[in-house]
C-alpha cells in the first residue's frame, strides 16, 4: 500500500531506468534508424565521390530501370515461389511430426528423436552448403547412386534450373522442421490430460483422440504460427541460396536478396540495389503489419 | 491410462517408431557422411568409397586444418567475436528489457521506447544503406563491425521483457521500501529469476555469433580478419587460390580438398552440436515464452 501511494506521488520514478537504456538507444538509432536515411539513394543517381548529399535526384528512374529489366520480375517470382513453398512445408511438416511424436510412449525414445531432428537447425548454411554440395554432386555415391540403382539418370541437383528451387525448399524444410516441432510439443503438454482419460472411458480410439482432442488443442497455435509466418514472404533465405546457387540456375534461383547483393556489393550500383531493397522493405512492412494485426485480432497476440 | 492396446495400435506404434527413426536418420546421416569423409584418406574420398564409416582411417585432414594459419586465425576471430558479442548483446538486452518491463506509471514513456525498438524488427534500410553506415562509423575491418550493428536484438528484448513481467510485483515493492535502487533490484531479484530466459537467449546468441558469416564477407577487406564461417564459405564456395599463400597451396596439393573441407566443416560445426542439447530444456521454455502468450 505504501508503495502504491509513493508511486502516485511520483517518488518511485528512478532515473536509473532511463540511464540503463542509453547504450541500446544509441546503437539502435545509429544502426537501425541511420540506414533509413540511406534509402534516398533509391531516388538518386548515386555517385560515391559526391555522397548522398551531393548526388543528383532522378525521381523514379531507378525503379523504371528495374521494371523494364526482364530479370527483375523473374527475381520477384522466384522469391515468392520459393518462399511460399517453404512456408507451406515449414507449417505442415512440424505439425505432422509433433502428432507422431505425441503418440510415442517411451519418453527416452521421444526425447532422443527430438534432440536429433533439431540438430540441423543449429548448423550454419555455410557448413550445410558444404554438406549438400558433396551429397548432391553427380559424382557422390549417395543420392545419385540411389537414383541410378533405381534405374534413373543422375541429376545435377544444383545445376538444373527446374530442380534447383525444389532443392532449396526441401533442404530448408529439412533444416527447420525439427525446430518447428518444439512449439507444438510444448503446446501438447498444456492439453488437459483428463480429456484423454474421459475419451478413453468413452471408448475413443487413438486416432479419434488425436483427431478430436490433440488437433483442436493445437489449432490456436497453428493459426498464430501460420499468420505470423506470412510476414516473411519476401525472405526466401539469402544464406541458403547464396551459398548453393551458381550462374547456371540464376533463372530460377535468383531471389531479391541475392539480386541486391550482386548488383549492390559486387557491381557497385548502390542506387539500383537500394531501390530493390526499398521495394522489398515496403512490401514486407505491409505484410508484417497485416499479419501481426491479424494475429492480434484473431489470437489476441501481442508483441509486448 | 491406456490399458489394452489393440492389434491395430501395436502395428501403428511399430510403423510410427520406424518412421520417426527414419526421420532422425535423415537429419543426422549427412553429418555422419561428412564426418566419415573427414577421417578418410584422400584417395578413398575422391574415389567415392566413403559412406558412413571412414575408409583408410587418416587424421591428415585435421592435422592440416590445425596447422593451417588461415584457419586458426579465423577460429581465433570467431572466439573473440563470440565472447565479446555475447557479453555486449546480453548486457544490451538486459538493460533495455528491464526498464521496458515496467508500467507506464513507474516509467513514463515506456510504451514509446518499447516501440522504438520493436519497429526495427519490421523496417530497416536494407543491405546497402547499412553497409554505408557501418563504413561511415569507421567499423570496417574491425571486430566491432561483426558486433555493434547487430547488438540490439529487438526480438530478444521482447522475450526478456515478457519474462520480467511475470516476476511478482511484491518482490520489487518490498525492496523499494527498503530503499533499493532499480539497478540493485534488477541484479538481485529479476536476473536470478529470469535464468531460463537468459539461458535461452545465451544459447541463441552463441549460435548466432558462431554461425554468422555475411558481415565478415562484406565488412572485412582482408581475409586475415575473416571469422570462421566466412573463411569456411570461401573454402567451400569459391576456392580462390590467389588468396592462399604458398604454404596453403602446398598443403592443398598434399590432401584432397574433399577431406580437408569435410574436416573444416566438422571443426566449425561440432562445438555448437556439443552445446545445444544441454540447453534443450531451457530453450523449449524460452521459445514458447517468446512467441506465445495466452
Domain presence at residue A64: no
Distance from CA of B125 to the nearest CA of A (A): 4
Same domain assignment for residues A163 and A262: yes
CA pair distance A134, B31, nearest whole angstrom = 11
Same domain assignment for residues A19 and A157: no
Chain B residue numbers with beta carbons less than 8 Å from the beta carbon of A23 are: 91-92, 95
Inspect the interface and report whether the beta carbons of A17 and B182 lie closer than 8 Å.
yes
Distance from CA of B213 to the nearest CA of A (A): 8
Q: What b/e string do you get for A188-222 counting C-beta neighbours within 10 Å, with b at 16 or more?
A: beeeeeeebeebeeeebebeebbeebbeebbebbb
Domain presence at residue A85: yes
Domain presence at residue A270: yes
Same domain assignment for residues A84 and A55: no
Domain presence at residue A100: yes
CA pair distance A173, B186, nearest whole angstrom = 40
Inspect the interface and report whether the beta carbons of A13 and B293 lie closer than 8 Å.
no
User: What is the residue-level pLDDT of chain B in tens, covering all 294 positions?
Assistant: 455 678 888 899 999 999 999 999 999 999 999 999 899 888 888 777 788 888 888 888 898 888 889 899 999 999 999 999 999 999 999 999 999 999 988 889 999 999 999 999 888 888 999 999 999 999 999 999 999 999 999 999 998 998 899 888 889 888 988 888 899 999 999 999 998 889 889 988 999 999 999 999 999 999 889 999 999 998 887 655 555 555 555 555 555 578 888 999 999 999 888 887 777 777 666 555 544 443
Identify from B19, B129, B159 which residue to disrupt to test chain A contact, counting A C-beta atoms within 10 A and taking the largest count: B129
ipTM: 0.87
Q: Which domains does chain B have, with CATH numbers?
A: 7-58 (no CATH), 62-291 (1.10.3720.10)
User: What residues contact A213, with CB distance under 8 A and at least 6 apart?
Assistant: A191, A195, A196, A199
Same domain assignment for residues A95 and A158: yes
Inspect the interface and report whether the beta carbons of A113 and B19 lie closer than 8 Å.
no
Same domain assignment for residues A95 and A45: no
Same domain assignment for residues A40 and A83: no
Domain presence at residue A8: no
Inspect the interface and report whether the beta carbons of B287 and A113 lie closer than 8 Å.
no
Same domain assignment for residues A74 and A52: no
Q: Which domain holds residue A270?
A: 69-299
Chain A residue numbers with beta carbons less than 8 Å from the beta carbon of B148 are: 27, 31
- As for how many domains chain A has, the answer is 2
Same domain assignment for residues A149 and A266: yes
Q: Record the cell numbers describing residue B50, joined without a space.
A: 566413403
- A277 → closest Cβ in B23, B126, B237: B126
Same domain assignment for residues A37 and A73: no
Domain presence at residue A9: no
Domain presence at residue A7: no
Inspect the interface and report whether the beta carbons of B126 and A130 lie closer than 8 Å.
no
Taking the Cβ of residue A206 and every Cβ of chain B, the question of whether any pair is shorter than 8 Å is answered with: yes
Distance from CA of A120 to the nearest CA of B (A): 7
Identify from A2, A33, A123 which residue to disrupt to test chain B contact, counting B C-beta atoms within 10 A and taking the largest count: A123
Same domain assignment for residues A139 and A229: yes
Q: How many CB pairs under 8 A join A and B?
A: 281
Same domain assignment for residues A150 and A281: yes
Which ranges of chain B does DSSP label H, i.e. alpha helix? 7-38, 42-46, 60-67, 69-100, 110-118, 127-136, 154-165, 169-177, 182-185, 191-193, 195-211, 214-219, 228-236, 246-254, 257-275, 280-291
pLDDT, tens digit, for every residue of A202-216? 888 888 889 999 999
Domain presence at residue A23: yes
Same domain assignment for residues A183 and A267: yes
Amino acid at each position: 500500500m505504501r508503495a502504491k501511494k509513493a508511486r502516485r506521488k511520483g517518488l518511485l520514478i528512478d532515473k536509473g531506468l532511463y540511464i540503463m537504456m542509453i547504450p541500446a538507444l544509441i546503437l539502435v538509432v545509429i544502426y537501425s534508424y541511420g540506414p533509413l536515411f540511406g534509402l534516398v539513394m533509391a531516388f538518386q543517381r548515386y555517385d560515391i565521390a559526391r555522397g548522398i548529399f551531393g548526388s543528383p535526384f532522378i525521381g523514379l528512374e531507378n525503379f523504371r530501370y528495374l521494371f523494364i529489366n526482364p530479370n527483375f520480375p523473374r527475381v520477384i517470382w522466384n522469391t515468392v515461389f520459393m518462399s511460399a513453398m517453404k512456408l507451406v512445408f515449414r507449417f505442415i511438416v512440424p505439425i505432422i511430426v509433433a502428432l507422431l511424436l505425441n503418440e510415442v510412449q517411451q519418453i527416452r525414445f521421444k526425447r532422443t528423436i527430438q534432440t536429433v531432428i533439431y540438430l540441423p537447425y543449429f548448423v550454419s548454411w555455410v557448413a550445410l552448403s558444404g554438406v549438400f554440395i558433396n551429397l548432391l554432386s553427380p559424382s557422390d555415391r549417395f543420392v545419385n547412386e540411389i537414383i541410378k540403382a533405381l534405374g534413373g539418370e543422375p541429376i545435377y541437383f544444383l545445376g538444373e534450373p527446374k530442380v534447383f528451387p525444389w532443392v532449396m525448399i526441401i533442404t530448408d524444410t529439412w533444416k527447420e522442421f525439427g525446430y518447428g516441432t518444439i512449439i507444438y510439443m510444448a503446446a501438447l503438454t498444456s492439453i488437459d490430460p483428463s480429456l484423454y482419460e474421459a475419451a478413453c472411458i468413452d471408448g475413443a480410439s487413438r486416432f479419434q483422440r488425436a483427431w478430436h482432442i490433440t488437433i483442436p488443442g493445437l489449432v490456436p497455435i497453428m493459426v498464430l504460427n501460420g499468420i505470423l509466418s506470412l510476414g516473411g514472404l519476401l525472405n526466401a533465405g539469402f544464406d541458403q541460396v547464396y551459398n548453393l546457387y551458381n550462374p547456371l540456375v540464376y533463372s530460377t534461383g535468383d531471389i531479391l536478396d541475392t539480386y541486391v547483393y550482386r548488383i549492390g556489393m559486387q557491381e557497385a550500383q548502390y542506387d539500383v540495389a537500394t531501390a530493390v531493397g526499398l521495394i522489398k522493405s515496403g512490401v514486407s512492412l505491409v505484410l508484417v503489419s497485416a499479419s501481426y494485426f491479424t494475429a492480434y485480432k484473431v489470437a489476441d497476440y501481442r508483441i509486448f | 491410462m491406456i490399458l489394452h492396446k489393440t492389434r491395430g495400435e501395436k502395428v501403428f506404434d511399430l510403423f510410427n517408431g520406424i518412421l520417426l527413426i527414419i526421420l532422425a536418420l535423415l537429419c543426422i546421416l549427412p553429418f555422419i557422411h561428412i564426418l566419415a569423409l573427414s577421417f578418410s584418406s584422400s584417395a578413398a574420398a575422391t574415389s567415392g568409397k566413403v559412406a558412413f564409416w571412414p575408409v583408410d582411417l587418416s587424421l591428415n585432414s585435421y592435422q592440416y586444418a590445425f596447422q593451417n594459419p588461415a584457419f586458426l586465425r579465423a577460429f581465433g576471430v570467431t572466439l573473440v567475436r563470440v565472447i565479446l558479442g555475447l557479453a555486449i548483446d546480453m548486457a544490451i538486452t538486459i538493460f533495455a528489457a528491464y526498464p521496458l518491463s515496467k508500467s507506464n506509471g513507474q516509467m513514463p514513456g515506456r510504451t514509446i521506447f518499447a516501440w522504438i525498438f520493436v519497429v526495427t524488427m519490421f523496417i530497416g534500410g536494407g543491405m546497402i544503406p547499412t553497409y554505408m553506415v557501418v563504413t561511415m562509423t569507421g567499423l570496417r575491418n574491425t571486430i566491432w563491425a561483426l558486433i555493434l550493428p547487430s547488438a540490439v536484438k529487438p526480438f530478444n528484448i521482447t522475450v526478456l521483457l515478457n519474462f520480467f513481467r511475470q516476476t511478482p510485483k511484491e518482490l520489487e515493492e518490498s525492496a523499494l521500501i527498503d530503499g533499493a535502487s532499480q539497478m540493485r533490484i534488477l541484479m538481485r531479484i529479476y536476473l536470478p529469476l529470469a535464468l531460463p530466459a537468459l539461458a535461452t537467449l545465451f544459447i541463441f546468441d552463441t549460435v548466432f555469433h558462431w554461425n554468422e558469416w555475411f558481415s565478415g564477407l562484406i565488412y572485412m577487406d582482408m581475409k586475415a580478419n575473416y571469422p570462421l564461417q566466412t573463411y569456411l564459405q570461401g573454402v567451400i564456395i569459391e576456392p580462390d587460390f590467389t588468396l592462399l599463400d604458398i604454404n596453403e597451396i602446398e598443403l592443398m596439393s598434399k590432401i584432397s580438398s574433399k577431406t580437408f573441407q569435410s574436416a573444416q566443416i566438422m571443426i566449425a560445426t561440432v562445438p555448437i552440436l556439443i552445446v545445444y542439447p544441454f540447453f534443450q530444456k531451457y530453450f523449449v521454455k524460452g521459445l514458447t515464452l517468446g512467441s506465445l502468450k495466452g
